[in-house]
Each structure stands twice: as structure tokens, then as C-alpha cells.
Amino acid sequence: MPKPMFVWTGTAWVSVATEVESLATYATQSYADNTPGMKLIVPTSIAVGSGSGSVSTQGKVSFSSASSVSINGCFSSTYDNYLILMKAANSIANQCYMRMRASGADNTSSNYLYGGIYVRYGTSSAVAGENSSGLTSNGFNVLDMDGNYGFARIQVFNPFVSTNATGVIYDQAFNAGGSSNDGYYEAFSGLTSVNTSYDGCTFYAATGNMTGDIRIYGLKNG
């Protein structure tokens, strides 16, 4: 019959099995809780203006032929800052805007402003700057779209802190493909000056309907 193995803790001999269980608890709870990183957020709910949308158990938001995608319960006091990764296409060449959202309602006040640069390459190459303020219901122009997928990376700072303006930094990359083979890269930053505790956001197409997916990550405060 096999004999149990013991180890010395400094004060007593204890079973190896007991120590292994203790280390496992430390590794999965204490270690993970105190290690900086990102966590994929699972929104409490989503709503689309048309078409269809869903959120997976892991937090991936998917939408098809949607005029807008509203994401609720994705910002909270758990994290100060967030990273949003978005992929979307539209059969009509247009813009995708982002609004901040609180308690199921979008912020449509005239308090969005942004500025940045863009680089276009291909048959219509150009380098230029752009800025705007006092935007009414538009929000931030986070992605230009056409029949091919474009990608946006959006950093959101302090959305849930009601005493601070919510800031964003976003960049996007896109290749139109086709005979023109045009594309662009854009880098912008902006803020909304209404100091509200936002718990969600909405993405919507200026015209037409979008198809794609969104993932929102909380950046650990540690």
C-alpha cells in the first residue's frame, strides 16, 4: 500500500496533497487577480436597430445587416479603461460612428470633438489632418466602410467615472480592394465633455447596414 508523502512547512509536517491544493488555489485566484492584463467583457445586453445581433458567452458581439448596435453594461467600476476591437463592412461606402451610452440611452448632445491625421494610399494618395467640435448626434467617426471589412482599435478612458470627461483614442485601417486598390490608415483622438457615468456605447452607420463583430476588453487597474 503506497504511503503518503509529507513536506515540512517550517512549523509542521503536512501532506503533499494539501500543499498542492493550496498552490492551485493561489495560482488560479490570487495570482490571476493581481496580475495586470486584459479581460474580455461580457455585456449585459445588446440591441440592434435593424437586422440581427448576438453576444456570445465569452463576450464577442456579432451583428449582421444592422443599422446600429447598442452595447449595454460593458463599462463599470471594475476597470478604469477599455480597449474595443471592431471589424465591420457595409455595402454602401460610409462612416461608422460611436456614441457613449448611459442607462440604455445614447448621449446625443453637442459635446463630441475630435482631431487627427489620415494617410490614404493607392490611386488617391494623400496625407492630411482633420478636426471637428460641437458635433451633435454623430459622436466619434471611428470607421469608414465599404463592401470590404475595415478594422478599428478604440481605447476608451474613464467612461464610468462621472467626474471626468470620457476620452478616446482610435485608429483604423482599411483596404478597398477592387480595381482602385485604395486604402487608408487614420489615427484620431477625442472626448465628450459631458461628465456622465457611461455604462455602454452605440455604433451606427451613417447610411446602410453593417455586418461584423466587436470585442470589448477591460484593462486591469493593477
> pLDDT tens-digit profile of 92-107?
888 899 999 999 999 9
What the chain holds in terms of domains, given with CATH numbers, is 1-35 (no CATH), 38-219 (2.60.120)
Residue 112 has pLDDT above 60, yes or no: yes
Higher pLDDT, 35 or 39: 39
Please give, one letter per residue, the 3-state secondary structure of the chain: CCCCCEEECCCCEEEHHHHHHHHHHHHHHHHHHCCCCEEECCCCEEEECCCEEEECCCCCEEEEEECEEEEECCCCCCCCEEEEEEEEEECCCEEEEEEEEECCEECCCCCEEEEEEEEEECCCCEEEEEEEEEECCCCEEEEEECCCCEEEEEEEECCCCCCCCEEEEEEEEEEEECCCCEEEEEEEEEEECCCCCCCEEEEEECCCCEEEEEEEEEECCC
Q: Is 159 exposed, middle or buried (0-12, 13-18, 19+ CB in 10 A)?
A: buried
Q: Are 196 and 19 in contact, with CB atoms under 8 Å apart?
A: no
pLDDT at 178: 43
CA angle 29, 74, 97 (to 5 degrees): 145
Residue 140 has pLDDT above 90, yes or no: no
Closest by CA to 157, choosing from 101, 79, 85, is 79
Percentage of the chain surpassing pLDDT 90? Answer: 42
pLDDT at 175: 57
Higher pLDDT, 114 or 41: 41
Please state the pTM of the whole predicted model.
Answer: 0.80
pLDDT averaged over the chain?
A: 83
